[in-house]
A and B are shown apart, each in its own frame.
Chain A
Amino acid sequence: MIKIDARGENCPIPVIKTKRVLKEIEKDGTVFIMVDNKIATENLEKMAVEYNNVINIEKINDEHYNVTIIKGNGSIEVNDKIQDYKGNNIVIVIQSDKMGDGDYELGKTLLKGFIYSLTEIEILPKTIIFYNKGAKITTENLESIQDLEKLQSLGTTILTCGACLNFYNLADKLKVGTSTNMYTITNILMNAEKIIRP
């Protein structure tokens, strides 16, 4: 059973998350969603009916509804393993300490703005990988480090290329996330749903 806590999220986010999870389930499975308003349960119900899934809605109180959607012969056993839904597989690669070609100072400001914006948009990237001069961000850029810590607390994995940290003599200066190797980086990129290189 996959659990989605969509409380605090406006439509269509609860529906989108549920829809993505249902699509990932090949044949049989159960999704358990928590929402904080009745309208969300109504929109989920419309979707369940459209996809011929069984839906059960339980009101806990005015701000808490539990919705169970069963695909195929999905199980609703109490001892069924519950996995928390971790979000999309969007990977962001930061390959330098600036964004775009052109003026260097402008580039640094742009990258700072980009990382800050990531903390404010609704979609959370699954992983952010820093390599080559990008290693300077997770070691020396205090403002961005703060933003990255916030993303990390929300579930994003922050990785910096170990070889790059060594090259720039920053190996013991990593302030957020962990260091990694090219094999892991390649694996993550190959499995990504979307790769963004700002």
Chain B
Amino acid sequence: MGNELAKFCSSGGCTAKLDPSILSSILHKIPKKKDDNLLVGYESNDDAAVYKLTDEIALVQTLDFFTSIVDDPFMFGKIAATNALSDVYAMGGEVKLALNISCFSEKISPEVLGEILRGGALKVHEAGGVLCGGHTVNDEEMKYGLSVTGVVHPDKILSNNNCKIGDKIILTKPIGVGIITTAYKVGEGSIESFDIALNQMQTLNKYAAQIMLKYDVHACTDVTGFGFLGHLDEMVKDDYSIIVDSKNVLYIDKSFEYAKEFLITAAGQKNRNHLKGKILMENIDNALQEILYDPQTSGGLLISVSENDSLELLKELNTLEIKSSIIGYVTDRTEYNICVK
């Protein structure tokens, strides 16, 4: 019997992430070691760690795993792998190697785990990497993900908070995935919108990343559990703010209707609470606000690109199947990190 995933998972995908305020309260207490080769590490909330090996090569290391939001194990494997691989792309890197991390119950038939791993392998190979082992722990609640190693040129690392004033910000996948999957899970969502969400969740950010690297991009991150606003906030520093043009933020069609029906997650509310005081909403419809805080699983990239290159980059990104849009721009510092208009 294959449909055993969802029953073992109380909250799936990126809603399984620990409350962000709990994380921030303890992370700063972890002892830090100084190493000049650690190019990206503790200081910022970046997508991956980057460690310089030579003048030409830096290692990109990242890890991601979670519980399932879908019943089909093969699909779960693909989504979890796509999500984990994304962080390498968000740093401007190339995927080389991955290891499986999984928790699996001995009460479920092993074929289910086999299907999850098959999905993961498919995506690692599509990313151009090699899947070469991993570790599985016996656990009532099923979880899967990857530890991923990539490479990047030390001078071309794309950290998440290096925007320049005047940059435009591009989002490469529509949001609303959390709301759509929640609605579907409780029997109030359409299969069509769920299929759109599934397609997005299993599409690698590789293709958007390959295009982005040809342009004058200053910063990049990917949108996952902390939602569109949560990850956009990670791009902000003390010396600039970001203005969001809400009508240009693409979301999966039905997510607005479902948000209006309060088919929203606890994680979305936690994201909202964590960003208190940092976001100014100017007359933004409550349902749209829910979408902006909605946790995404395996979301798109947020790219901060020079104004001059923005239209060309957007045009090329829109030759891909999943559509991108310019969602805002970087401006002089205001009272808030982000202002949503």
> Which positions in A face B, CB cutoff 8 Å?
10-13, 15-16, 19, 37, 39-40, 42-43, 46-47, 50, 113, 116-117, 120-123
Contact = CB atoms under 8 A, between A and B. Distances in A.
A42 B269 contact: yes
A120 B7 contact: yes
Q: Which of A11, A39, A113, A123 has the most CB of B within 10 A?
A: A11
B188 A16 contact: yes
B266 interface: yes
A21 B1 CA distance: 35
Interface string B260-276: 01111110011001000
A35 to B, nearest CB: 10
Interface on chain B toward A: helix, strand, loop, or mixed SS?
A: loop
A117 B182 CA distance: 19
B286 interface: yes
Given A16-B262, A19-B262, A50-B286, 12 more contacts: A10-B266, A12-B182, A12-B264, A12-B265, A42-B269, A42-B273, A43-B266, A50-B262, A117-B3, A120-B7, A121-B6, A123-B186
B255 to A, nearest CB: 13
A16 B266 contact: no
A119 to B, nearest CB: 9
A192 B7 CA distance: 26
B10 A43 contact: no
A19 B260 CA distance: 11
Contacts of A15: 262, 264
A12 B263 contact: yes
A12 B186 contact: yes
A43 B7 contact: no
A58 to B, nearest CB: 19
Contacts of A122: 185-186
A15 B264 CA distance: 9
Contacts of A120: 6-7
Nearest to A44: B262
Nearest to A45: B269
B11 interface: yes
B308 to A, nearest CB: 42
A121 B10 CA distance: 11
A46 B7 contact: no
A39 B269 contact: yes
B133 interface: no
B7 A16 contact: no
A93 to B, nearest CB: 18
Given A43-B264, A46-B262, A46-B286, A13 B270 contact: no
The 9 A-B pairs with the shortest beta carbon distances in the complex, nearest first, are A11-B266, A120-B7, A39-B266, A15-B262, A39-B269, A47-B262, A42-B269, A12-B263, A123-B187
A80 to B, nearest CB: 26
Nearest to B265: A11
Contacts of B261: 19
A46 B268 CA distance: 13
A100 B188 CA distance: 25
B191 to A, nearest CB: 15
Nearest to A119: B7
A16 B269 contact: no
A177 B7 CA distance: 25
A43 B7 CA distance: 24
Nearest to B7: A120
Interface in B1-41: 1, 3, 6-7, 10-11
A123 B187 CA distance: 8
Nearest to A42: B269
Contacts of B265: 11-12
B269 to A, nearest CB: 5
A79 B201 CA distance: 51
A116 B3 CA distance: 11
A40 B266 contact: yes
Given A46-B262, A50-B286, A113-B1, A11 B186 contact: no
A19 B188 CA distance: 13
Interface in B274-302: 286
Contacts of B263: 12, 16
A147 to B, nearest CB: 13
A11 B188 CA distance: 14
A4 to B, nearest CB: 14
25 contacts: A10-B11, A12-B263, A12-B265, A15-B262, A16-B186, A16-B263, A19-B261, A37-B266, A39-B266, A39-B269, A39-B270, A42-B273, A43-B262, A43-B264, A43-B266, A43-B269, A46-B286, A47-B262, A50-B262, A113-B1, A121-B7, A122-B185, A122-B186, A123-B186, A123-B187
